[in-house]
Each structure stands twice: as structure tokens, then as C-alpha cells.
Amino acid sequence: MEWKETGFILGVRPYGETSALLESWTRDHGRAMGLVRGGLSRRWKGILQPGNRIVLNWRGRFSEQLGVFIVEADHLYASELMNCPLALLALNVMNELVHIIPERDPHPRLFDSYEHLLNAMSKGYVWLADLVRFELKVLSELGFGIDLTSCVATGDVDNLVYVSPRSGRAVSRSAGLPYSDRLLPLPPFLLDDTLVTNDIPLLLQGFKLAGFFLDRHVYSFRKIAPSCMREILIKRLILL
């Protein structure tokens, strides 16, 4: 069996003394693993870095096999992000999130968001709101998406300012006011995908919201430690 696709590097682990186990993220084949022969050599070190876009040629006798990758560099994002601490942390957070997605399970919409976010980070656009959206998209792709279309109590589509931690659905200002201390604030940029913001308090609200549901549906559920990179990123944002 054989397939060829452009994808991103999520991580690389040594395999033996000279080869590397490459974890990649592709549009049509999802999270795919494979062996890169000679992947630990000096020649490949610069290319096999997380975040880099590469052309992957996978070969294996059966689709269930680990298989062997023949890789070729396409766009080396990693070196473009290395001088930006926030972007590097975000890249780690994104890779960690993609890592929890089952192997060989394609998620084209999530892949497009990943690519869009990486592009924005490398070009220096405003991207932090997109990172929050990406986190929520991961939850959605895993089947735990939150519903922000209308108020869970009244059905209103306007003035949605809270999210119910119990149902994961939006709550309008009027319906949520008496319970505001128990509800999660909903930042406006999550209601409109075209909105970009650098407003730190709003972004922190977004990270708090996504973090709550990530913790409930991913970290606590799977009994794994929450992402330390995410924690460092949020601490850095608070200090900005």
C-alpha cells in the first residue's frame, strides 16, 4: 500500500540508533505514524521538527502497519516560529491537542484550521482567538462540541454572553444573570469566526471556557495531566 500527501510534523522520536518514528498530521489520513530511515541524521534534524510542513510518501504492506515514510521538506514553519515564544507555545498546544485524536482518523476541517493557524502565526497576524477556536474545534471533532447557536433556556439567538458548564450550550444575558457566578463567560469572538482580537481579558475568558471542557472531556476523562504548555501560555498571556 502507498499514499502521498502533504502534512505537518507533530513529533519525532528516536527509533534505534539512526531511524526516527515520525508522527504526522495529514488532511486525508489524519494522524499518521511511520518510520523515517536515517531520520536521526544531521541532514534530517532541521526538517523533522514539529510544525514543519512536509510531503509524506507512506509505504507499508498493510494499512494497519507502521509503514515507512519517505519525506521531503515543503515549508519549514518551525524555524520561522522559533523566535516567538507565544507562537512556539501555541504550536506545542496545537500538537498536543492533535495528538489526542485517534490515529488514521481524518479530520479535514480541523486540519484546515491547523494550517490556517500556523500560517497566521508565521506571518505575524493576530491569531490567539484562532487558537481558542481551534481548541473548541478539537472538542467538536471528538464529539464534545459546545453549542453557541442559541440560548439553552429561552432559545434567543441574541445577547449570548454565557455558557452553561453543565450542558455546554450558550445562555443569554437575561436568562443567565441570576446564575452568572456559576456560568462561564462567553467572549464575543467565539460567536463570529471572522472576529480577531488581541484583548487579553477576552482571550483569557476564551481559554478558560475551552480549558473547562477540555479538562472535563479529555484530561479528567482520560485521567491524563492537563497540558503544561497551555498553562505556560496562559501565564505568559496574563503577564502581557
Partner 1 sequence: MARAAIGSEIEKLIRLFSGLPGLGLRSARRVVLYLIKREEQLLRPLSRALEMVADSIKICSCCGNIDTTDPCCVCIDPKRDLSVICVVEDVSDLWALERARVMNSHYHVLGGVLSALDGISPHDLNIKRLIERACVPEVQEILLAVNSTVEGHTTAHYITDILGDCNVRVSRLAQGIPVGGELDYLDDGTLAAAINARTIF
Number of residues this chain uses to bind partner 1 (CB under 8 A): 35
Q: Is 6 exposed, middle or buried (0-12, 13-18, 19+ CB in 10 A)?
A: middle
Q: Closer to partner 1 at the Cβ: 75 or 217?
A: 75
Q: Which of 7, 30, 34, 50 is close enough to bind partner 1 by CB under 8 A? A: 50
49 near partner 1, rule: CB under 8 A: yes
Is the alpha carbon torsion for 153, 155, 160, 163 positive or negative? positive
Residue located via cell numbers 515520525: 22
| Alpha-carbon dihedral 184, 232, 136, 182, rounded to 10 degrees | -10
Q: How many C-beta neighbours within 10 Å does residue 30 have?
A: 20
- Of 39-47, 157-165, 200-208, 210-218, the segment contacting partner 1 by CB under 8 A is 39-47
Q: Closer to partner 1 at the Cβ: 47 or 136?
A: 47
Shortest CB 184 distance to partner 1, Å: 25
Q: Which of 32, 78, 117, 151 is close enough to bind partner 1 by CB under 8 A? A: 78
93 near partner 1, rule: CB under 8 A: yes
Q: Which residues bind partner 1 (CB under 8 A)?
A: 10-11, 13, 17, 23, 45-47, 49-51, 73, 76, 78-83, 85, 88-89, 91-93, 95-96, 99, 225, 227-229, 232, 236, 239
